[in-house]
Structure 1
């Protein structure tokens, strides 16, 4: 079995090479709207990851029974059901975070990444690869949200994961860090333009890293050819 066909590859490739936000440019609305802090980004990312895993698993398990004529309404209905359950669970057990994220939890139903993975992957693959794909896509999305939120939070207030214990629960108190004590903050960082600026730098940074990786692979391949 080739590397590209191994189930674990679906997870690892989704973290970077096919990242939802930085490569596929999907789900940018929550990526820009809720990432005023790293805590908000983490909460939104984890909720989206759970939706991706559950919907991928359910749709993959039912892929042979879903008629092609009604697959889109069925998939949207399944996604809406999963999102509703997660929305209710967050309202019950993470109410403070639920109040911060608000409507964006319910809007996961319209997230192109969720429906896109169901359409392009889960309907064509077994359950285990679908779960790994959903987990990879979700975690890849989460680290981008956390990174954007973390950069904006440090520049905006000098803190990192502020109010994590009140929003995510007391077990997350260890995440709360004051990076720059006494820092007044840059207002632009927490305003909407700040999200676009940070995302732009991340996109540029990924392009540079990918180019350097490609150059190293080409150089390494050339050296192997010479040695052979």
Structure 2
């Protein structure tokens, strides 16, 4: 992506270059943690924060880092930021940390972080890099949250179940009385089916929009 206007950065991160729905990056946490909305929200917010901070840090040090050590330096920055986020979550949201477990430190391996650091943050000022990190993170968050919400609604007939215990937000919890549930939706295969349906829906919408414009 070469466009650098704030509107273009936001549009790319949220829609046309969405890492979860278009580029299909970070699929391990996207599929593994999206069995309910609370888990999806927790990991999504952690990823937003990681992208925002790492992009800003990389843009800040970009002129101080030699080309031959640039990638290792970026990896160190990403690892330090993600470790800080994990420690903070363990301290302030221990129940959520226990549920998400290994997937929090695995944010380090999310290709979206290194991809945006190399492709955008290392070539732009900290302000634009921060906006790009925020847009990319929010794009990942809304896809992750949508998959989690759909799987939880279809699979268990609830939404944000456990928000009171895990996030301290009991007002978010919703449940449909008497819903028998559809267990396939909350099994691993359900994640693939829901993601595939979202990708297919987006493609159909784009083709229809292109056809209408033509």
* TM-score, shorter chain, exceeding 0.5: yes
Cα RMSD of the aligned pairs, angstroms, is 1.1
When residues 46 and 78 of structure 1 are mapped into structure 2, their CA distance, relative to the original with a 3 A threshold, is same
Listed as ranges, the gaps of 5+ residues in structure 2 are none
Aligned length: 212
Listed as ranges, the gaps of 5+ residues in structure 1 are 220-228
- TM-score, normalised with respect to structure 2: 0.96
Q: Which residue of the partner structure matches residue 26 of structure 2?
A: 27
Q: Which residue of the partner structure matches residue 207 of structure 2?
A: 211
1:175 equivalent in alignment to 2:172:
yes
CA distance in 1, matches of 2:203, 2:7: 24
- Give, in angstroms, the shift of residue 52 of structure 1: 0.1
* 8 Å CA contact 2:43, 2:100 repeated in 1: yes
Q: Which residue of the partner structure matches residue 44 of structure 1?
A: 43
CA distance in 1, matches of 2:8, 2:158: 35
CA distance in 2, matches of 1:131, 1:11: 11
* 8 Å CA contact 2:152, 2:158 repeated in 1: yes
Q: Which residue of the partner structure matches residue 7 of structure 1?
A: 6
Q: Which residue of the partner structure matches residue 86 of structure 2?
A: 87
Structure (1 or 2) with the larger CA radius of gyration: 1
Q: State which of 182, 193, 199 in structure 2 corresponds to 1:197.
A: 193
CA distance in 2, matches of 1:142, 1:25: 13
Q: Which residue of the partner structure matches residue 57 of structure 1?
A: 56
Q: Which residue of the partner structure matches residue 223 of structure 1?
A: none
| 1:123-142 map, 5 Å | 123-142=122-141
- Give, in angstroms, the shift of residue 183 of structure 1: 1.0
Q: Which residue of the partner structure matches residue 155 of structure 1?
A: 154
